[in-house]
Amino acid sequence: MAGFIDDLFGKLFPKRNTPLQVKENFVQSSQDMLDLEIWLQSSECSYILDLVGKNYHFKKANINAKPEVHTLNSPYANGFAVSYDPPFNPETFSKLFFAFGRRMLALGYRQVSLDRKIEEINDKVKTTEKQYFKPPLQAEDFTSKIDQLYGNVSVEKVTIDNEPSFIKVLVTVYSDHLYQKAKPFDEFIDHIFETNTP
């Protein structure tokens, strides 16, 4: 009898063989954008950017501090990730994610996407919000190489089961002969953590 019931339930409620995965574009509400503008001018924003910037440089010297920063260095991709540690709360962590995106716009980048991916991994739900930026479009001039600035930039915020986990900023350079050499990543870092510009 148990086999019959199991078979019946199996037909009524089939097990999913493939994990859930959804990807969607999204936009910030006008209120969220206004709140971000106010926050970008606040002492809290300056404090957070100073703290993460300081901890980035500590990490380069093999010193760990909270919030912990992780670095990535390779010939074609450089970046960092900051863990969700004190003094962050979900609101300031989200604002920092968008603040990094605003820095890209201030550097002359154009935003090409803002999306969210939700996926099921080992009985956990991972949500990745991503801003993707490319260097500005330039006039068609085939006699000179294209200025790639620092390269393409992605800014990601990852949460696991609705709990913030980390923010990652990754710069990927073009190695194509059509592009000028990318500007130095250290200069990019200086711009990202400046506290005197929005």
Q: Which residue has the tokens 């300031």?
A: 92
Measured CA to CA, the distance from residue 109 to residue 125 in angstroms comes to 31
* Tens-place pLDDT, residues 19-73: 778 999 989 999 999 999 999 999 999 999 999 999 999 999 999 999 999 999 9
Measured CA to CA, the distance from residue 102 to residue 120 in angstroms comes to 30
Question: Beta 163-172 vs 77-83: how paired, if at all?
Answer: antiparallel
pTM (two decimals): 0.86
Structure tokens, 124: 């956990």
Peptide bond into 75 cis (omega under 30): no
CA 135 to chain centre: 17
| Ordered mean pLDDT values, 10 residues apiece, the chain (198 residues) | 62 64 91 95 96 96 95 92 96 97 95 95 93 83 82 97 97 88 95 74
| Range 12-18, long-range pairs (CB < 8 A, 24+ positions) | none
Contact residues for 151 (Cβ-Cβ < 8 A; gap 6+): 135, 171, 172, 173, 174, 182
